[in-house]
Homo-oligomer: A and B are copies of this chain.
Amino acid sequence: MSLSYAMLGLLTYGPMNGYNLKKIFDKSISHVWAASLSQIYRELSTLEKKGYVTSIIQKQEDGPDKRIYSITDLGRDAFQDWLKNFPEQLSFYQRDEFMLRIFFGSRLEKKEIIKEFEHFISQKLDHLKKLNEIEKTFNIYSSEFTVESAEKEELFWHFTIKQGKMTIEVLIKWAEECIKQLEEYNSSKINLKK
């Protein structure tokens, strides 16, 4: 599945240990595919069993030893194979806790729900900042981690950031519209009652 290929993809940039891989994840692709440390460690052993990566132990005097993983030719092939075979059917289904609550929003007070929409907007503004931070580190990584050309590598990274930004911006607009509609709905209700 996708996690293993995300990991193999990052390992094409160079050998890494689990902890390091997690840091790179968070600074590069967490907005596209998130991973927890424990998942990464488990997946690294699975990948090793499959022969997609090999590991060596690096002794350290300060702190515990490191296990450094490198991608194998078999691993590179598997990654490239996955990469070129995009799925036919892209998933339509979602799992969004906030949206689920909104679905049942009629069971809440108008004031409460407006407060939640406002909180949603402030959270999305935070997410925009996070994306900007990730974007800033791209030029650092692209010079370190270049496969073909840093420019081409960065182009695609920016596509994913752009997707995130555009989506967040539209969600903010959506929430603002919902608030407006709720306020209108309430006032018309009050008028009817009079």
Contact = CB atoms under 8 A, between A and B. Distances in A.
B99 A163 contact: yes
The CB with the most chain B CB atoms within 10 A, among A32, A157, A171, A185, is that of A32
Tell me the interface secondary structure of chain A in the complex: helix
Interface in A148-194: 148-149, 152-153, 155-157, 159-160, 162-164, 166-167, 169-171, 173-174, 177-178, 181-182, 185
Given A34-B95, A167-B170, A103 B29 contact: yes
Contact of A5 (B100, B120, B127, B156): B100
A87 to B, nearest CB: 7
A181 B182 CA distance: 39
B96 A80 contact: no
A130 B91 CA distance: 12
Contacts of A166: 170-171, 173-174
Interface residues of A, number: 71
Nearest to A98: B90
A5 to B, nearest CB: 7
- Specify how many copies of this chain sit in the oligomer: 2
A83 B102 contact: no
Contacts of A99: 32-33, 160, 163
26 contacts: A2-B97, A30-B92, A32-B103, A33-B97, A83-B104, A83-B108, A86-B98, A86-B116, A86-B119, A87-B97, A89-B123, A90-B120, A90-B124, A92-B130, A94-B164, A102-B159, A103-B156, A104-B156, A105-B155, A105-B156, A106-B148, A106-B149, A159-B178, A162-B177, A162-B178, A167-B167
Interface of A: 2, 5-6, 9, 28-34, 80, 83-84, 86-108, 112, 116, 119-120, 123-124, 126-127, 130, 147-149, 152-153, 155-157, 159-160, 162-164, 166-167, 169-171, 173-174, 177-178, 181-182, 185
